[in-house]
Amino acid sequence: MFSRFTQLARHLSRPLLNQAHRNAPSLAQPALNMTSSSSSVPSTQRSTIHTAGCIIIGDEVLGGKTVDTNSAYLAKFCFSIGLHLKRVEVIADDEDEIIEAAQRMSRNYDFVVTSGGIGPTHDDITYQSIAKAFNLELKLHEPTVAKMKKYSRPHKSQPNFSWDVPSPALTAKYRMALLPTDPDIPEEEQVLFVKEDLWVPISVVNRNIHILPGVPRIFETLLEGMRPRLIPRLADPEGKGMYRVLFSTPLAESEVAEYLTQLAEKVGPKGVKVGSYPRWGKARNIVTLVGKDVEYIDSLEAEVAQGVHGRRVSVEGEDDSGDEQDVHKDKDA
């Protein structure tokens, strides 16, 4: 078995050795002998996390074939634990694009999530591209292979598939277990399994890039599985999240703009952001206050309600009437 894995790893590595990026050396051949991943949170991963970034990878998103929902889910996830998501990018299945984005995002943000490009086909190049971005080897990760065998099932179009018989399908499956590997970082910090009965790993590169699949259900499951690992590393280790209140206003954005500018200057030093959102075709627009100081934000309710000639609401549109004849022409959208 070891010999067959080694031969397969060498076979999978050949295209990569001929595609060295102009700014990085070629990758060594994939190797084996990696130990099982741990579910504990290593001490070296306990540095405080303040900011997050997201890279959505996929020609199908840029081509309009698939609608990205993962970045929206990540945004809600970050908001819920009080982590500031600062940037979301959508890029092609292009090695140079992935390399540049991964290097820049890793420099700029504490917690980076990628979505997409880790399947079994030729255009799934996220692992190999991010490996090149940080001059890392790709290694066949045996625990991932073992979990893949245990929890995945061959497609109905593969009735004769065997884990013990070499085939193009087997080679394709093992592409998903070739992970970027840094010899200077413990394995438990590089490969995370956050759900016992799910074989898909979270590959962690350069200590802050977390490579996730693009399938929304799996993306969401893995992200939620990281929640208990992330919360202790937040500036607010209780993970209470951000606090947001909404105000419904009958005023046009241009009418309320001056007041909101003054309000933003007042509450900014307290870490509170003011937002204004037009609702096209509706009689009322929305103003928001977002921050972590719940008591302070709540203390502003009467003042803001008066300033926008409106009132606080629980959800957007709760005070819409059936008659929307009084629709503002000045939406400033």
Domain boundaries along the sequence of the chain: 51-155+162-233, 243-313
How much is the average pLDDT of 37-43?
A: 39
Q: Which residue has the higher pLDDT, 332 or 95?
A: 95
Position 9 scores a pLDDT of 42
CA distance 166 to 158: 14
Residue 58 has pLDDT above 50, yes or no: yes
The region of weakest confidence among 47-51, 63-67, 237-241 is 237-241
205: left (phi over 0), alpha (psi -120 to 50) or beta: beta
Q: Which residue has the higher pLDDT, 304 or 18?
A: 304
How much is the average pLDDT of 303-312?
A: 97
Helix, strand or coil for residue 137?
A: strand
C-alpha closest to that of 290 among 269, 276, 274: 274
The region of weakest confidence among 121-130, 289-298, 316-325 is 316-325
Position 74 scores a pLDDT of 98
Residue 253 has pLDDT above 60, yes or no: yes
C-alpha closest to that of 139 among 3, 28, 39: 28
Neighbouring-strand partners of residue 312: 247
pLDDT band of 237, cuts 50, 70, 90: confident
Residue 27 has pLDDT above 60, yes or no: no
Position 241 scores a pLDDT of 87
pLDDT band of 46, cuts 50, 70, 90: low
Say what percent of the chain tops pLDDT 90.
77
Position 7 scores a pLDDT of 43
Helices (H), the chain: 2-17, 59-62, 70-81, 95-108, 126-133, 142-151, 168-175, 216-230, 253-267, 294-299, 301-307
pLDDT band of 311, cuts 50, 70, 90: very high
For the chain, the straight-line distance linking the first and the last C-alpha, in angstroms and rounded, comes to 62
C-alpha closest to that of 4 among 131, 165, 205, 212: 165
Highest-pLDDT range among 2-6, 27-31, 260-264: 260-264
How many helices (DSSP H) and strands (DSSP E) are in the chain? 11, 12
pLDDT band of 228, cuts 50, 70, 90: very high
CB 132 within 8 Å of CB 20: yes
